[in-house]
Structure 1
Amino acid sequence: MIGERLTLQDIQKQYGLAWAVRDASVEVAAGEFISIVGPSGSGKTTLLTMIAGFEMPTRGTIRVGGKDITFLAPNRRDIGMVFQKYALFPHLSVRQNIEFPLRMRNRSQSGSARARVDEMLDLVQLRPFADRFPHELSGGQQQRVAVARALIFGPPVILMDEPLGALDKKLRESMQFEIKRLQESLGTTVVYVTHDQDEALTMSDRVAVMRDGRIEQIGRPSELYSDPKTAFVADFLGSINFIPARLMSRAGDVVTAQIGSGQIVTARLSREDGAGLEAGDALQLAVRPEHIGFNAAAAENAVPLEGRLENVVFAGATVMVFVRLCATGQTVRVQVPSLDLSLPDKGSAVALTLSAKTVKAFGGDKGGEA
């Protein structure tokens, strides 16, 4: 099974005067796993349902492998779909559920079809459960049946609408790797909608972040995490601190900013927010919790920040430390390995450090609100 290229060109969806999706253009390569994330109401599920054919776009073109499917009925698109609640038939066994797409295509009576079902049962490791019914399976097993049913007829594209949302955290993490393993072994093209940012970063070749019906940024997970184009993307993907500052000078996209009345920081300004900024304008300095450290002497080109330790939250391998900055009065989060640091008591004065190469600057008075 080899996936095919999926092309979305200038897709729009309007309900009355309200826009659900605006000018969405994405080129998904054959065999690529791309996730679509965004807050509720951002348009991600509407975009997925238009690809599936359950909704028709107001404008734009959808192509699979060069074939225009924009206005084809869902059953004529030959696209696989895994729903959030799996949508398994309760009166059919695991084998019969997986076989169902072949039956609908009049391909269920041949010996090769039976062999294909066995192949899929082995692929999702459910051969011993072939004669059980959905209510006799765990959530993870039901999810694997849904994936096998979507894969069995060899669709060029598979769509997944938050398929792991109903699972507990440990099982969800296990199934993330299981789905990625299946996708890579089969070379399937997958478009995956999720509200879980960590899930998207873990599973995807690329991630598209949506906001107010538009694609705010699309790129590799590491690119979006380390070099977000907007404050919204920075804030939406992972944990981040926004520290208010004032622009003192700039040379292209490199700025010198002042935090409060003291510390001077050099940072790289986002290209999306750089136009028209002048000395004295408000900035937001964005820095990930893991990029703030203690012990100024140990960091190269470090900028010291004084503060008071407010709280410490243990999270297994890491500790999240909350520190109130003296310069701004705000609380920032600092993430450190749980075994590497002996922390002072709550209320104690501490010295934090910022490294210029890990700080991103955005224009405006407020950080990216999701």
Structure 2
Amino acid sequence: MSQDLLEVYNLTVNVGKFSLKDINFLMGPGDYVIILGPTGCGKTIFLESIAGLRALNKGALFLNGKEITHLPPEHRYMGFAYQDSLLYPFMSVKENILFGAKARKMAGGPEILRRMEQLAAAMNITHLLDRYPRFLSGGERQRVSLARAILTRPPLLLLDEPLSALDQQTRHTMQELLREIHHTEGIGIIHVTHDFSEALQLGKRMLVLHDGQVEQEGEPLEIFYHPATEFVAKFLHGENLIPGRVLRQGGEQWFEYGDGDFLLGPLPKNCLTEGLSKSGKLSTLLIRSGSIRLSRAAEGPAAANCWTARIKSVIIGSTHVDVYCNGNGRWQASLSLAEWQGLDLRRGEQVSLSVSPEHLHVIAQ
């Protein structure tokens, strides 16, 4: 069995009136972990605590099986890159990249210079080595910052919203670069962001933080479709969130809300342990907009999980169309551009909406 790269036990850090509270977390070698959450939830404090930039009020940290709880940052041998690249303005790009190695008395040797040249080539900044930071674009500065952070082959790279200040095209390029670094270097990465699309692109695992605590941990897509709490569902833009209650009728489980009901599939084990199998349990239903099928209004009685609504508004994007409807509540459905064009519908027209039981997710209150 491989040893965990990073072990975090009962991590508690108090900063003024804010606290990170009893965070437990294990990270395997080569993992790419996303820390996701809103502004002020403690993401950066968590990262700085791992790096040794903040002292713990309680808890313990282990890196490759060795306790590092009380080690200073320079003895933890981690790479760190902030949103602001924090390059030294009086140093050239080459000098900035070599700075971390110099601090560890590794700079100047042929091996570290070859390593610097290889990284510069991989990140397409060889032609910038003699320039100074003020002459670089935002994306170029972040590449230099990443090269500096991984020059000495740290076992763990910490990234604090490194892409948030970049334009969309540069952000996409940097995501490709981070994937390549993760693959070729075999380095473990903890990446802080508030952007879920970034988490989907890069992360193998994800922790959602809220008010200094871990709200949910798992694979990004699993959390997206099966949020554990209403906060996670709302933070990940849960489009159709409906308060109601779970009922059992004739051996089937239904979700009843003010304007109708839905036939549910088998409830997941975590829902059963939270008591949702009990008839009448208050809960919230999540239906992702992409799970709702939209078609021209059908005649005759409606089947289970099928209802009629009227198109209120339509927002056409570059890859998909969001359709907002009223009928037994308010609904949002998402279709591909091709699907929408094939339906040839307009605002105000009546449509049929339907959803499969397996696409209904119940959240305990």
Asked if Structure 1 and Structure 2 have the same fold, meaning a TM-score greater than 0.5 normalized by the shorter chain, the answer is yes
For the Cα contact (< 8 Å) 2:225–2:361, is it kept in 1? Answer: no
Distance verdict in 2 for CA 1:8–1:19, change over 3 Å: same
| 1:316 corresponding residue in structure 2 | 318
User: Deviation of residue 9 (structure 1)?
Assistant: 0.9
| 1:368 corresponding residue in structure 2 | none
The answer on 1:304 being equivalent to 2:303 is no
**Aligned partner of 1:83: which letter?**
Y
For the Cα contact (< 8 Å) 1:108–1:114, is it kept in 2? Answer: yes
Structure 1: which 5+ runs fail to align?
A: 365-370
Query: 2: CA distance between counterparts of 1:187 and 1:31?
Result: 5
Query: CA-to-partner distance for each residue in 1:298-323, whole Å, 9 max, x for gaps?
Result: xxx86112222111101111001111
Q: How many residues align?
A: 354
| 1:61 corresponding residue in structure 2 | 60
SS in 2 for 1:339: helix
SS in 1 for 2:310: strand
**Aligned partner of 2:94: which letter?**
R
Distance verdict in 2 for CA 1:223–1:49, change over 3 Å: same
Query: 1: CA distance between counterparts of 2:262 and 2:118?
Result: 62
User: Deviation of residue 343 (structure 1)?
Assistant: 4.3
User: Deviation of residue 98 (structure 1)?
Assistant: 0.6
Map 1:1-370 to 2 at 5 A.
5-15=5-15, 18-249=17-248, 255-269=253-267, 271=270, 275-277=274-276, 278-295=278-295, 303-324=305-326, 326-328=327-329, 331-341=330-340, 342-364=343-365
User: Deviation of residue 74 (structure 1)?
Assistant: 1.2
Distance verdict in 2 for CA 1:77–1:332, change over 3 Å: same
Query: 1: CA distance between counterparts of 2:189 and 2:117?
Result: 23
For the Cα contact (< 8 Å) 1:23–1:214, is it kept in 2? Answer: yes
Query: 2: CA distance between counterparts of 1:178 and 1:155?
Result: 17
Query: 2: CA distance between counterparts of 1:108 and 1:343?
Result: 65
User: Deviation of residue 273 (structure 1)?
Assistant: 8.1
Query: 2: CA distance between counterparts of 1:251 and 1:188?
Result: 54
Distance verdict in 2 for CA 1:250–1:227, change over 3 Å: farther
Distance verdict in 2 for CA 1:151–1:251, change over 3 Å: farther
Q: Judge which range, 37-46 or 150-159, deviates more.
A: 37-46
Query: 1: CA distance between counterparts of 2:272 and 2:143?
Result: 44
User: Deviation of residue 275 (structure 1)?
Assistant: 3.1
**Aligned partner of 1:345: which letter?**
R
For the Cα contact (< 8 Å) 2:320–2:335, is it kept in 1? Answer: yes
Query: CA-to-partner distance for each residue in 1:201-224, whole Å, 9 max, x for gaps?
Result: 210111111112111211112222
Query: 2: CA distance between counterparts of 1:72 and 1:273?
Result: 44
For the Cα contact (< 8 Å) 2:238–2:287, is it kept in 1? Answer: no
**Aligned partner of 2:147: which letter?**
A
Query: 2: CA distance between counterparts of 1:152 and 1:202?
Result: 24
User: Deviation of residue 268 (structure 1)?
Assistant: 4.9
**Aligned partner of 2:229: which letter?**
T
Distance verdict in 2 for CA 1:28–1:251, change over 3 Å: farther
Query: 1: CA distance between counterparts of 2:308 and 2:258?
Result: 12
Query: 2: CA distance between counterparts of 1:340 and 1:202?
Result: 25
SS in 1 for 2:345: coil
What is the TM-score when the length of structure 2 is the normalising length? 0.90
Structure 2: which 5+ runs fail to align?
A: none
Q: Judge which range, 21-30 or 281-290, deviates more.
A: 281-290
**Aligned partner of 1:362: which letter?**
I
RMSD: 2.3
For the Cα contact (< 8 Å) 1:230–1:273, is it kept in 2? Answer: no
Distance verdict in 2 for CA 1:136–1:150, change over 3 Å: same
**Aligned partner of 2:127: which letter?**
P
Distance verdict in 2 for CA 1:280–1:349, change over 3 Å: same
Distance verdict in 2 for CA 1:62–1:272, change over 3 Å: farther
SS in 2 for 1:61: strand
For the Cα contact (< 8 Å) 1:307–1:349, is it kept in 2? Answer: yes
Query: 1: CA distance between counterparts of 2:263 and 2:157?
Result: 46
User: Deviation of residue 259 (structure 1)?
Assistant: 3.7
